[in-house]
Amino acid sequence: MDYVPKTIEKWGDTVLTSLTYAASIAQYTSLFILPFAYRRGWFTTEGVILMSKFLTGVGIVVVGAMYLRALGRFTNPIYTKFLQILLEAQADMSAVNKRALSKFDFDFSAWPVEFRMSELEGDASKPRSYLDQVGSSGLIGIPLDALGWLLTHSFGLKMVYPGSIQMLQAMVERPLMDGRMKLIEGYGGQRFKLLTRDNNSIDTLFVEQKSKLNGKTLVICCEGNAGFYEIGVMATPLEDGYSVLGWNHPGFYGSTGEPFPPQEAAAADVVMQFAIHKLGFSVENIVVTGWSIGGFTASWLAMNFPEIKGLILDATFDDLVPLAIPRMPGVMSPLVDRGIKKYINLNVADQVARYPGPLRLIRRTRDEMISTSDGELWSNRGNNLLISVLSVRYPNLESGASALADWLSVQGLHPPQDEDLVAGVLFSYIDQHGATFPCLIGEDMDQQTKQQLLIYLASKHMSELDTSHCTPLPVSHFTLPWDPAIDSQFVNVCQKDAQSESCSDE
């Protein structure tokens, strides 16, 4: 049931919430407010004095609102019962206390921490791979870096990750609450608070389905730029019977911090370590999936944990810069380019290039978010991601990239006509040289065969969905990535058993 606050508590809470939103708006519009404030004389001695008096008045209002809210809660028997349960759980987060606490939905900042990276032994000392941000370029780079910092730290990050805007979170608070209720009551999910290396709290929820066929495999879900695990991509693998671990970006609802790349990576890291050391899943039984901008953290995990069972990227781009520049005024292009590369460098393709395991890309044919030209399939940046990955994994086939680009510009990712032939060539190579990357197949191959083989590989790595960007992924499209090593072993078994009428799935 919904908690009904008393009048004085409701009034105090409204005042505090309104002031919080006002402060957020001031931050987002600071680049426009500061010049106005300067012209109005706010930075003069008289202006500073008036501002000090104003802030003092605001402080008095805040203290009064907090007092009224506390008084209303103290006189409400439902709240005092909840507070008693919360204090017991904070003192000892036992299974009994956690079950009692899980019956309430409240501000996640009060939830006890159940997993800390600082207390982890073993993998905590493992060095993490971070791709370097763009460095300074002398005297010209210094002012650009300063302006880029202001751009990204005022409103730029909020444009890239609108889910971190508090007002947006308030608008979807009820659907988020209902989503958590469904995951906890309908699927038996458990909520956890994890503490990262940089001391951010990450809101996570785990659903175990080991009794189902796919339940021994854990799917870690990385959400989009306005996605939350409560109403996000967890639904698809859950419906398919997988155990699932969802988490919210830093600054998204229950998670603290801001979704800058270092904090995003730290959050993804603690989620993976939690899955291994607390939930007991081996890395080899973990699939990482990312939707849209979630491809950044998903690919970061794949780069640092290459033993995972597979990486699935849905509606994901290769790099943020080509998508950001067309959405900003042309005169700001150099600043946008510099600011993103230095402070919000979401270099998905570079990270995927360092992951050698099974990979599956899902392209949306009507994707309006990661296309640079509206309605043009050739401009979907998922194409660039695929081309980049294949060029690293199969460098001797790169001369066939133009044919691959033509193939990707047409809807319907059909395999080449000579599919069986080129597949046989690939599997013969793997049988002789192994399935490690980079795969040097194609060195003595004619151009047409290179093109056909490259298209065959592309058809195995990418599937297509005729929808827009935000349409939920159907269960039928959530399949584990193709693994050429396993596929080649299966073909060899079939060839050795040629006397049989059919080939089994041994």
Cα–Cα–Cα angle for 474, 477, 480, nearest 5°?
135
**pLDDT value at 203 more than 90:** yes
The residue type of 416 is P
Question: Do the beta carbons of residue 454 and residue 403 sit within 8 Å?
Answer: yes
Cβ neighbours around 20 below 10 Å, total: 14
Task: Check 18, 433, 466, 497 and give the catalytic one.
Answer: 433
Domain residue ranges of the chain, discontinuous segments joined by +:
7-111, 377-506
Residue found under tokens 């709290």: 201
User: How far, in Å, CA of 191 to CA of 206, rounded?
Assistant: 6
Question: Which H helix or E strand runs over 433?
Answer: helix 419-433
pLDDT mean over 160-189: 94
Helices 381-393 + 401-408 axis angle, to 10: 150
Q: For the residues of 235-259, what is the DSSP string, one character each?
A: HHHHHTT-EEEEEPPTTSTT--S--
Strand partners, 115: 194
Q: Is 319 a catalytic residue?
A: no
pLDDT mean over 52-59: 89
User: What would the pLDDT profile of 474-497 be if each residue is shown by its tens digit?
Assistant: 999 999 999 998 876 655 545 445
Residue found under tokens 């460095």: 135
Q: What is the model's pLDDT at position 505?
A: 44
The residue type of 449 is T
Task: Check 367, 388, 461, 488 and give the catalytic one.
Answer: 367
Q: Is 292 a catalytic residue?
A: yes
Question: Do the beta carbons of residue 310 and residue 321 sit within 8 Å?
Answer: no
User: How far, in Å, CA of 464 to CA of 411, rounded?
Assistant: 8
Higher per-residue confidence, 482 vs 27: 482
Q: Where are the beta strands (DSSP E) in 292-432?
A: 310-314, 359-364
User: What would the pLDDT profile of 342-355 be if each residue is shown by its tens digit?
Assistant: 999 999 999 999 99
pLDDT class for 502, splitting at 50, 70, 90?
A: very low
Q: What is the pTM of this model?
A: 0.88
Sort strands 190-195 and 218-222 into parallel, antiparallel or unpaired. unpaired
pLDDT class for 252, splitting at 50, 70, 90?
A: very high
Label each residue of 466-501 as H, E or C.
CCCCCCCCCHHHCCCCCCHHHHHHHHHHHHHCCCCC
Q: What is the model's pLDDT at position 23?
A: 82
Task: Check 164, 201, 255, 292 and give the catalytic one.
Answer: 292
